[in-house]
Amino acid sequence: MFVMSKKNNVQLALAFDDKYITPFYVLLASLFINNKQNEVVIHTIVSGITDKDKNDITTYVQENNSEIIFYDIDLDYVSKLIVPEKDENPLTGAMYYRLFFPFLVPSEVQRLLYIDVDTLVVGDLAGLAALDLNGKTVGAVTDRDMPVRSDIGIHSVEHYFNSGVLLIDIAQWKANRISEKALKIISEEPDLIKGYPDQDALNMALRNDWYQLEPKYNVMRLYVPEAVPKRGFGSFLLDQKIIHYNGKKPWFSDCEHRLRHVYQQYARLSLRPEASHVTNVQLPKDKRAKLRRSRMIEFYFDHPELVTVWRRLKALVGR
């Protein structure tokens, strides 16, 4: 029987389909390892998995002194929403599930932390869950990987957020009809949707109504200092809370996120240790060259002592 006995309360929302059940397990492992001191309630919308899968997930969550609640939504309605075709990291209708949580969670839930399942929780979430949003409807992190979107009224990169981590004030979200506005944009203004419909629509619906969170709450690829060697990541991670693999995924060989190895570490500690296996991706020539350059830059910063030796050798040969 589940018993609540911890002090800090974290109301977490996770949404996924059957294609992401393994990353979901890895995320849960990271969550439980780093939030043993918190009372965690996981609100979940999931499609495509079996009742046995749900029972297994529930057992795992309860064994870690947490609670999980599954919700059903109208999947036929979701299936009619636009899903752009992408060769890399294909999108599914599951990206829209986040829009339904504010209407499903119990009325006593005032604050909800939504995170994508291509993330790792590497720190205590209690501070984030209780953060003051200064009167804004959501808290989110700027997405530095996106271009300026003047076409949707966003004229600076700093004013466009990533929807992979959202700290939601439920009452304000519902009062301001954020879900309704976002769904209307997706349905009626598809020309404004470039590549990430839910994210573009939420940025439009929440323009000037979101609080900028520190990058440590959504550590995307561009937020990892390039010059930090791999052996320095331990110190860097001490202050980070959520790693987000929002580009190429760490279970594929072409992942460019500098913290991809952290995913493998948590995968080995999860109920799906096979998730630590990295699948080799066959790339066209131009992309192989780009990836090689990226790996060479990483090697340069990871092994400064070898670079120093190489420079000395070049200097000696040049004499």
pLDDT tens for residues 107-126?
999 999 999 999 999 999 99
The three state secondary structure string of 62-82 is HHCCCEEEEECCCHHHHHCCC
Q: Above 60 in pLDDT, residue 194? A: yes
Considering only residues 1 and 26, tell me which one the structure prediction assigns the higher pLDDT. 26
What confidence tier does 232 reach under pLDDT thresholds 50, 70, 90? confident
Contacting residues for 184 by C-beta, under 8 A, at least 6 apart: none
Confidence grade of residue 12 (pLDDT, cut at 50, 70, 90): very high
Amino acid making up residue 23? P
Rounded mean pLDDT of 152-163? 87
Give the Cα separation of 303 and 198 in Å (integer). Answer: 40
Query: Which residue in the block uniquely carries the two structure tokens 């829209």?
Result: 96
What is the pLDDT at residue 193?
Answer: 81
Comparing 8-17, 98-107, 160-169, 275-284, which segment has the lowest mean pLDDT? 275-284
- How many Å is the maximal CA-CA distance in the chain? 76
CB within 8 Å of 229: residues ≥ 6 apart: 301, 302, 303, 304
Q: What is the pLDDT of residue 34?
A: 98
Query: What's the token pair of residue 65?
Result: 């002194």
Q: Residues 165-182: what's their mean pLDDT?
A: 98
Reported as a single tens digit per residue, the pLDDT across 18-75 is 999 999 999 999 999 999 999 999 999 999 999 999 999 999 999 999 999 999 999 9
CA distance 61 to 29: 10
Question: What residues have CB less than 8 Å from 6, skipping those under 6 apart?
Answer: 37, 38, 39, 65
Alpha helix stretches (DSSP H) within the chain: 21-34, 51-63, 75-79, 126-129, 170-175, 178-188, 197-205, 233-237, 260-268, 285-302, 304-317
Chain CA centroid to CA 298, Å: 23
The region of weakest confidence among 74-78, 133-137, 160-164, 227-231 is 227-231
pTM higher than 0.95, yes or no? Answer: no
Tokens of 301: 């910063």
